[in-house]
Amino acid sequence: MREAPAGDFDYEETGHAYSSVRKSEPRFGVAIRKAFGDAKRVLNVGAGAGSYEPEDLDVVALEPSAVMRAQRPAHLVEAIDGVAEELPFGDCSFDASLASITIHQWRDLGAGLKEMRRVAKGPVVILTFEPVALQRFWLSEFAPEMMQYESGRMPALDEVAAHLGGSVEVSAVPIPHDCVDGFAEAFYGRPEAFLDESVRRSQSAWGFVSPDVEETSVARLSESLSDGTWDQRHGSLRRLLAYEGSLRLVVAMP
């Protein structure tokens, strides 16, 4: 086991229940699979419990946390221990590389993205959140400290593009109402989810505010739900089938 977490969050300590709330959302999987084009051999970096790994392709998964590697279902390949910043593979040894919901945690974003570009002949595919759009999410009204920290963790997409080089396309990914990958905006129309501690524990951002700040944030939301204020202001989101928030798919060609 490594001495310090590979990223900014300690999954060894708090990641044990990740896969119970953070599942692979099939509609994002379709967009990611399309971005791979005719790739046959794919590297998944920061692979976690295996979300978004294309099951019809030859996948190598790399994940630094033992707790996360242990949550991979048996039908997926075992993940190799390693970090994005130093990929243990030769140049162009994959057709494509993938990093889903992980780049904001890396110690050295530029080094990691350059490594992803180096080992892939074709597309580098990244699923991430655009920081300005994320800050606009309604949860900022109730958990301002947490949301400000979370937006600040997310790299600007022009920085991501500059590290990747080549031609880069960024597209917004609509979040379905019943999204099964439980990141914060996945619950845009199901606000009661944030009252559930197991949901918050699977969202690393809550780990960056004190227990007191978290309790106050949850109490504010709970009160707003009880007295009807949340519904007055945001209730239409309960009926919105898909939400265009901050989720983005970045596809870089060499």
Ligand X SMILES: C[S@@+](CC[C@H](N)C(=O)[O-])C[C@H]1O[C@@H](n2cnc3c(N)ncnc32)[C@H](O)[C@@H]1O
Binding residues (CB under 6 A) for ligand X: these are 6-7, 11, 22, 45-48, 51-52, 63-65, 68, 83-85, 100-102, 105-107
| CB closer to ligand X, 83 vs 157 | 83
CB of 239 to ligand X, least distance (A): 28
CB of 241 to ligand X, least distance (A): 23
- For 197, the token pair is 């501690």
| CB closer to ligand X, 84 vs 221 | 84
Burial of 227 (0-12, 13-18, 19+ CB in 10 A): exposed
- For 193, the token pair is 């989810």
| CB closer to ligand X, 207 vs 224 | 207
Distance CA 222, CA 227 (A): 9
- For 156, the token pair is 């600007």
CB of 51 to ligand X, least distance (A): 4
Query: Are the CB atoms for 33 and 51 separated by under 8 Å?
Result: no
- What sign has the CA pseudo-torsion 103, 106, 109, 115? negative
CB of 45 to ligand X, least distance (A): 6
| CB closer to ligand X, 64 vs 245 | 64
